[in-house]
Amino acid sequence: MIHNFNAGPSILPNEVFREAADAILNFNNTGLSILELGHRTPVFTAVMDEARSLAKELMNLDDDHKVLFLHGGASTQFMQVPMNLLDLKDTASYADTGVWSSKAIKEAKLFGKIDVVCSSKERNYRFIPKDFAVPNDAKYLHITTNNTIYGSQWQSIPTTSNVLVADMSSDILSRNIDFNSFGLIYAGAQKNIGAAGVSLVVINEQILGKTKRPIPTIMDYRNHIAEGSMLNTPPVFAVYVCLLTLRWLKKLGGLSAIEKINNEKAALLYNALDSNDLFQTHVVKEDRSKMNVCFTMKNSDHEQLFQDFAKENGVIGIKGHRLSGGFRASLYNALPLSSVEYLVELMQSFSQKHG
Ligand code: PMP
Q: Is any atom of ligand 1 closer than 6 Å to the C-beta of 197? A: no
- How many CB atoms neighbour CB 14 within 10 A? 11
What region does 326 belong to: left with phi over 0, alpha with psi -120 to 50, or beta?
left
Q: What is the pLDDT of residues 164-211, one digit of tens each?
A: 999 999 999 999 999 999 999 999 999 999 999 999 999 999 999 999
Q: What is the pLDDT of residues 295-348, one digit of tens each?
A: 999 999 999 999 999 999 999 999 999 888 899 999 999 999 999 999 999 999
Looking at residue 286, the DSSP 8-state letter turns out to be G
Q: What is the pLDDT of residues 28-87, one digit of tens each?
A: 999 999 999 999 999 999 999 999 999 999 999 999 999 999 998 999 999 999 999 999
For a mutational test of ligand 1's pocket, the pick from 97, 148, 154, i.e. the residue with the most ligand atoms closer than 8 A to its C-beta, is 148
Q: Is any atom of ligand 1 closer than 6 Å to the C-beta of 73? A: yes
| d(CA 104, ligand 1 centre) in Å | 10
Residue type, 277: D
| d(CA 110, ligand 1 centre) in Å | 19
Nearest to 338 by CA among 270, 259, 279, 261: 261
- How many CB atoms neighbour CB 318 within 10 A? 23
Q: What is the pLDDT of residues 252-309, one digit of tens each?
A: 999 999 999 999 999 999 999 999 999 999 999 999 999 999 999 999 999 999 999 9
The whole-angstrom separation of Cα 348 and Cα 273 is 10
Q: What is the pLDDT of residues 21-41, one digit of tens each?
A: 999 999 999 999 999 999 999
pLDDT value for 114: 98
pLDDT value for 72: 86
| d(CA 75, ligand 1 centre) in Å | 6
Nearest to 2 by CA among 148, 11, 17: 11
Q: Is any atom of ligand 1 closer than 6 Å to the C-beta of 102? A: no
| d(CA 199, ligand 1 centre) in Å | 10
pLDDT above 90: residue 125? yes
What is the model's pTM? 0.98
Q: Is any atom of ligand 1 closer than 6 Å to the C-beta of 151? A: no
What percentage of the chain exceeds 90 in pLDDT?
A: 98
Q: Whose CA is nearest to atom 14 of ligand 1?
A: 73
Q: Is any atom of ligand 1 closer than 6 Å to the C-beta of 326? A: no
- How many CB atoms neighbour CB 90 within 10 A? 18
pLDDT value for 113: 98
Q: What is the pLDDT of residues 140-169, one digit of tens each?
A: 999 999 999 999 999 999 999 999 999 999
Residue 111 · residue 79 · CB < 8 Å: yes
pLDDT band at 355 (very low <50, low <70, confident <90, very high): confident
The whole-angstrom separation of Cα 21 and Cα 11 is 15
Domains of the chain, earliest start first: 14-252 (3.40.640.10), 254-354 (3.90.1150.10)
pLDDT above 90: residue 228? yes
pLDDT value for 323: 85
Rounded (to 5) percent helix, strand, coil in the chain: 40, 20, 40
Nearest to 293 by CA among 313, 272, 323: 272
Q: Strand, coil or helix: what is 298?
A: coil
**Catalytic site positions:** 100, 167, 191
Extended beta strands in the chain, E state: 3-4, 65-71, 91-96, 113-119, 140-144, 146-147, 152-153, 163-167, 184-188, 198-204, 279-280, 292-297, 315-316, 327-330
CA atoms within 13 A on the CB side of 197: 11
